[in-house]
Amino acid sequence: MARPISSRNSVLSVLADGKPKSHRDVLTATDLTESGVWQALRRAWENDLILRTKKPLYEPEKLFKGRAGIRRNLRAYHLYVLKPKGVDRLQLKGQEYVSYSKRYLDVRGGGARSKARIIKEFLQKNREKAFFSTQLADALNDEGVRTVDVMSNARRWEKRGLIYIRGYRSDDRQTPFKEGYLLTWIDQNKDRDQALQEAIERTTKALVKQGSTSPIIERVHRIRDMIIEASKLRDLVSFDYIQTKLECSNGQAEEAVRRALQLYTDLKEVKVFGAYRYFYHASLSEQDLKAALGFKENYVRVTKGRANRIGHNWEACVEWFVDKFTTGAHFQTQNHRTNGMDARRITLHLIKPVGDRRANAEVDRVWTITPGPFAPPTTYVLECKWGLVTKRDVDDFFNVLRWSKEFGVDTPDGRQVQQGLTCLFAGSAFNPKENVQLKDGQRISLASYASRMNIQLLKASDFNQKLREHGCALEATGQKICKASRDENEVRRLLEEIWDNPPDTERLLTDAMGKNRDVYDFEARL
């Protein structure tokens, strides 16, 4: 009976042709198992029968994982060749082959200190600090650790609960910071919850120190400060307020808020009427939160409700008629810190409070007309009000103008409005029954009273008459257009379309009302 050939002899017979072969090549050429080939190659190398490449070779490969599909992997392997007599090193086809030595052992086989262990021991030694993955690679560069090695090895310790790794967290994945992921040691000798909390605090401190190099992190920290400040004052912070303070675009503010909520779990978001976003800190008590929400709901009802929308639309409606029928009108514009405010609304500075306005007041439009090349320009100031206009509204408008730095002057008879300034007050309706009693006991109409103050009253019927004269249908009224439009831009667009196509008036209004149904529903909820 023939004696079976040992696994070592089988391997040596395959390498007898002098050509370098990998573990897989030997496995294919023999009937041995995979572990048998590994053990035979190791013993042959340790017994100085074969040489092995000094450094591993790498090649990409595709692996079919069944239902998981095809996975791509970077395979590392060695080549083996028979050792010539008296030769400890061999250069063959650009590869260096060496005899067995402990310094050539592969760390994956446990023969040396692995990169995973190097990373673990470094973090354990510096357990009071947190490091970005790039910082960790720089610190361990002398030990052969590269940037690409850090996370692949750190994830192994994360699975065992030894290392805390922090990045931007979204609904379905985690992404690194600009400088990479943050890593820190989780103390195994402390209560698990306490150790994890301390790890989170260390990474937070590291982010604060790194903030000066990253605009997004700076915004995140400012957002946190604003929210904490408001919560201390038992208030909520709106998204519009945050964007105004950050002085950035809407997209940048959205990204900063999203990341702030990811990084700081104690920052909370709540929506008023399911549409308006507000933020608060978890330290705000439930009772204070409920009270703050009540205040915000009332504020939204006043500022975002139907009356507010139609009021702003009325301003745009009057402006369109002024622009349409005034030759050479040049409207003044002004940048506002509040997003969404029309640039043609002008803020005036008051030298004396008027009503509940202390330092500033607004007028709806200001424009100038230059009649000729040598004639001085004439300035017009417009105030609009949706609803019934009374003497109180006219007096308030006049007082704002005369006590403003821009349009008021001091005279021997007291503070007055500048000479040559034309004041217009546009209302959807004026109270026809209201009479103004003068000091001498005489009673005059509101229109006559306004005229004495050099204020011209414009009525909605005046604008509607212009539409009738142009041939527009009776349905086309300034009031209907303001009620149907979503915002000021749509008012201008709808008026322009109706003016250009008078026969299509009814269809254009119907289309606008159908398109803006969601706005009407929301206002009904308010």
Give 10-residue mean pLDDT values along the chain (526 residues). Answer: 67 87 89 88 88 86 72 81 86 86 64 77 90 90 84 87 82 75 91 89 79 70 90 90 83 88 90 85 92 83 73 89 87 78 87 86 90 83 86 89 92 88 86 77 84 86 90 86 89 92 88 84 67
Q: Which two tokens stand for residue 140?
A: 């361990």
**Eight-state DSSP code of residue 252:** H
Torsion sign across C-alpha atoms 23, 25, 28, 29: negative
Structural element, H or E, at residue 310? helix 306-325
CATH top class, domain 214-304: mainly alpha
Q: Which two tokens stand for residue 12?
A: 């040596």
Cβ contacts of residue 190 below 8 Å, gap of 6+?
198
Indicate the fold that domain 306-525 takes in CATH: Trna Endonuclease; Chain: A, domain 1 (3.40.1350)
Which amino acid type is present at position 47? N
Alpha-carbon distance 508 to 487, whole Å? 16
Return the SS3 of 39: helix
Residue with tokens 């299509």: 504
Q: Which two tokens stand for residue 223?
A: 């957002």
Alpha-carbon distance 485 to 480, whole Å? 9
Q: Which two tokens stand for residue 439?
A: 């000091």
Provide the terminal-to-terminal Cα distance of the chain, rounded to the nearest Å: 98
pLDDT the model gives residue 236 = 93
Packing angle of the helix pair 215-232, 239-246 (nearest 10 deg): 130
Q: What's the full length of the chain, in residues? A: 526
pLDDT the model gives residue 289 = 92
pLDDT the model gives residue 212 = 46
Residue 299: phi, psi to the nearest 5? -65, -45
Contact by Cβ (8 Å): 106, 57: no
Residue with tokens 């330092």: 359
Pairing state of beta strands 89-92 and 267-272? unpaired
- Judged on CB neighbours under 10 Å (0-12, 13-18, 19+), 251 is exposed
Packing angle of the helix pair 250-263, 239-246 (nearest 10 deg): 110
User: Could you count the other beta carbons within 10 Å of the beta carbon of residue 494?
Assistant: 26
Q: Which two tokens stand for residue 104?
A: 């050539």
Q: In whole angstroms, how far apart are CA 240 and each of 253, 301, 303, 364, 389?
A: 9, 16, 13, 22, 32
Alpha-carbon distance 514 to 484, whole Å? 9
Structural element, H or E, at residue 300? helix 286-304
pTM above 0.85, yes or no: no
Return the SS3 of 375: coil
Closest CA to 181 of 160, 201, 159, 152: 152
Q: Which two tokens stand for residue 192?
A: 């698990």
Alpha-carbon distance 97 to 20, whole Å? 10
User: Could you count the other beta carbons within 10 Å of the beta carbon of residue 200?
Assistant: 18
CATH number listed for the domain at residues 7-109: 1.10.10
The domain limits of the chain are 7-109, 115-212, 214-304, 306-525
pLDDT the model gives residue 237 = 92
Which amino acid type is present at position 277? R
User: Which option is the CATH number for 115-212: 2.60.40, 3.30.160, 1.10.10, 1.20.1250?
Assistant: 1.10.10
Q: Which two tokens stand for residue 187?
A: 């103390």
Cβ contacts of residue 67 below 8 Å, gap of 6+?
none
- Judged on CB neighbours under 10 Å (0-12, 13-18, 19+), 343 is exposed
Decide if 7-109 and 115-212 have a common fold. yes
Helix, strand, coil percentages (3-state) for the chain, rounded to 5, are 45, 25, 30
Residue 453: phi, psi to the nearest 5? -90, 10
Pairing state of beta strands 421-430 and 455-459? parallel
Contact by Cβ (8 Å): 277, 250: no
Alpha-carbon distance 203 to 184, whole Å? 7
Contact by Cβ (8 Å): 208, 221: yes
